[in-house]
Amino acid sequence: MPAITLTDVVKTYPPREKGASPLTAVDGVSLEIADGEIFGIIGYSGAGKSTLVRLINALEPTTSGRIEIDGSPITGLPERQLRAKRAGIGMIFQQFNLFSSKTVWGNVEFPLKAAGVPKAEHQRRISELLHFVGLADKAHARPDQLSGGQKQRVGIARALATSPGILLADEATSALDPETTQEVLALLRRVNAELGITIVVITHEMDVIKSIADRVAVMDKGRVVEIGETFEVFSSP
């Protein structure tokens, strides 16, 4: 069963000002992301990538079309059921989105609290995660004491806290230098290989896709204009 199935997904935003026309950010996207793969979505700024991510994570409703996660539809579900679904999808971001007033520990604990995981389980879970991302010695540090790569590793630990089956990485290496980018991509490969988590990498950077994605969809003006194995898509003229 695919991890994510999109069928004819459309997202149209109302006009920003009176007299302007509505903007279709995602314009009839259909694709299947297999369980356990690393799937890339690439395109220029404005192509609709981030909108697509927000639809997959059910942060915004679709205008039309159908989205299934692990074979069950999320489109049309009431908010209460969506919250449970979201716990199955982790997310990491370009600007890391860490809580600056919380420690590393507190950041990773946040989703456990939100999901109502019993306090007694936090200790084991958080230290496991911090070991996995190589930050066991930074539990008491605050984000402003960390490098960009370390911040993103906290982001990854936090995203994995509720044991999601899917990780969405939205421009997750775009704020990092090339060396740190490779470190974070290596960690994402371990997340995929050792934890069996399906990863969707959204980026405008071809090198990132080439380095990590099994398959890639190229987006332009809200549509998927090309899809296939990464080496095929980037070798075609």
Q: Is residue 134 at the binding interface for ligand ADP, with CB under 6 A as the rule?
A: no
Q: Taking a C-beta distance cutoff of 8 angstroms, is the pair 88, 71 a contact?
A: no
Phi and psi at 223, nearest 5°, equal -115, 155
Nearest CB to ligand ADP, comparing residues 46 and 65: 46
Q: Which helix (H) or strand (E) holds 208?
A: helix 206-212
Exposed/middle/buried for 101, CB within 10 Å: 0-12, 13-18, 19+? exposed
Report how far residue 205's alpha carbon sits from residue 171's, in angstroms, rounded to the nearest whole number: 9
In the complex, what is the shortest distance from the CB of residue 141 to ligand ADP, in angstroms, rounded to a whole number? 10
Nearest CB to ligand ADP, comparing residues 36 and 106: 106
Q: Is residue 111 at the binding interface for ligand ADP, with CB under 6 A as the rule?
A: no
Site residues (CB under 6 A) for ligand ADP, limited to 66-85:
none
Nearest CB to ligand ADP, comparing residues 19 and 237: 19
Residue with the shortest CB distance to ligand ADP? 106
In the complex, what is the shortest distance from the CB of residue 36 to ligand ADP, in angstroms, rounded to a whole number? 25
Phi-psi region of 184 (alpha: psi -120 to 50; beta: other; left: phi over 0): alpha
Binding footprint of ligand ADP on the chain (CB under 6 A):
13, 23, 25, 43, 45-51, 102-103, 105-106, 109, 123, 139-140
